[in-house]
Structure 1
């Protein structure tokens, strides 16, 4: 195992189009089950990169709306086992009602039709209005895009992980988190910012992935003023962004980006 447990070397047989074969070694990204417990309740098992797990626990708790602030987290314990990692998160007693409510909805996912309706309502819960403002210019977006690759050491090694970056309003990349899962990478970034008491300060988030509705929701809950993604957005992601006033930039490439026209909210 190399890279602090985030990648390992594997031998492959390279087969060329003309028929030549050769043995080569490549770095592959480590993907492990990460079990997350809140107040002793098994909440989720995520497949993730085993790095920055405290950031992941904090960001995941925020994204799941289990906590309102960092003070709601009493303790995070990390245990490694042969089959995966366990994150045991202790929340303040005041979070118990929210936690139990979310657990009930998660358990009911395979239950009756009525429960299904309740789950649909939970899946599309109203998002808070984004109150932060993005001050980034067009050139700032292209600067961040140009610099992102150099800030992705695990992806350079393996070519198999996503990145989520906090960018300043001038395009400087302030911090990056990587993971095999795009959602996990963003949770880790949000968690890292919360733990550092860092604000967006007119900047934006840059993600090396497509723009799904879950990523829009994470951005809104983190009061991120602008979300920039390398690939395209889904219809639901666009609807959710418009519903909360999140600025959306998609298909962000070195030569052009697509900015979602703002919805007339009057």
Structure 2
């Protein structure tokens, strides 16, 4: 069987556009959406629809934000492989992490699951998180600038108008990393992987999102270790409670220098 062609992040398709003068034939760039399987050893842990770009970052970041590793050294292998039905990110875990993953897989053999990646009980959906205590502070001007920089840096979104972004803002340096994806969780996982690969310290800046803030986004930010989470949209009630509990400053509905702070306001200068 021939190896499938590697998909591009976007594709241009024909469409009919309604204009004041009537229907006109046109072209529209739309983001690609590909099935991506994340496997550890020979076991598939999760399959998700994702934009086929920055996939090594997705594999590394997902491993961290899902609690499968605590630092990059615990992932001893990572390769991205094209498959007839999609893409496989195949990873290898080191030592004790591999043993813990095997035990987790055995527990997943039951008939029921709650729908979150690799989670086998409702208790784990509200898992214990590390306390984020970094004192990093941002001013109102920096918060507005961070959101503006995120929007300005979204090349794929400018082309397609259909993807989310996650960025990392560092005081004194600006937006130092940005990743895009059709899935908001994937964009954040890709950002986490990019920061690990670049050797950046998440405690020294803020995660910036184009999406609403659900509890999973707060959980992933806590496991990354970033003390501030800025978003253009509103949070859920559970996301606010979790951010308060794990020490994250949650800032939402950012519009220029206007915003709403839901937890730990001491980090806002």
**Runs of at least 5 residues in structure 1 that lack an aligned partner in the other structure:** none
SS of 2:255's partner is coil
**Runs of at least 5 residues in structure 2 that lack an aligned partner in the other structure:** 1-6
In 1, the alpha carbon distance for the partners of 2:229 and 2:99 equals 31
Picking from 87, 90, 93, the partner of 2:89 is: 87
Aligned to 1:145: 147
SS of 1:13's partner is strand
1:126 Cα deviation after fit: 1.1
TM alignment of 1:222-233, pairs within 5 A? 222-233=224-235
Normalising to structure 1: TM-score of the pair?
Answer: 0.90
Alpha-carbon spacing, 1:171–1:242, altered in 2? closer, same or farther (3 Å): farther
Picking from 61, 64, 67, the partner of 1:62 is: 64
SS of 1:130's partner is coil
Aligned to 1:7: 10
1:134 Cα deviation after fit: 2.1
Aligned to 1:211: 213
Residue deviations 1:183-204 (CA, integer Å, cap 9, x gap):
0000011111112211135321
In 2, the alpha carbon distance for the partners of 1:254 and 1:179 equals 24
* RMSD value, Cα: 2.3
Aligned to 2:248: 246
1:7 Cα deviation after fit: 0.3
SS of 2:121's partner is helix
1:249 Cα deviation after fit: 0.2
Count, aligned residues: 257
Normalising to structure 2: TM-score of the pair?
Answer: 0.89
1:170 Cα deviation after fit: 4.1
In 1, the alpha carbon distance for the partners of 2:212 and 2:202 equals 21
SS of 1:110's partner is coil
In 2, the alpha carbon distance for the partners of 1:91 and 1:141 equals 37
1:15 Cα deviation after fit: 2.6
TM alignment of 1:130-209, pairs within 5 A? 130-170=132-172, 172-200=174-202, 202-209=204-211
Residue deviations 1:189-247 (CA, integer Å, cap 9, x gap):
11111122111353211000000100000000011000001100001100110111100
TM alignment of 1:99-118, pairs within 5 A? 99-108=101-110, 110=112
1:20 Cα deviation after fit: 1.2
Alpha-carbon spacing, 1:234–1:109, altered in 2? closer, same or farther (3 Å): farther
In 2, the alpha carbon distance for the partners of 1:142 and 1:13 equals 37
In 2, the alpha carbon distance for the partners of 1:217 and 1:197 equals 21
SS of 2:180's partner is strand
Aligned to 1:97: 99
Say which is worse superposed, 139-148 or 21-30, in terms of deviation.
139-148
Identify the structure with the greater strand proportion.
Answer: 2
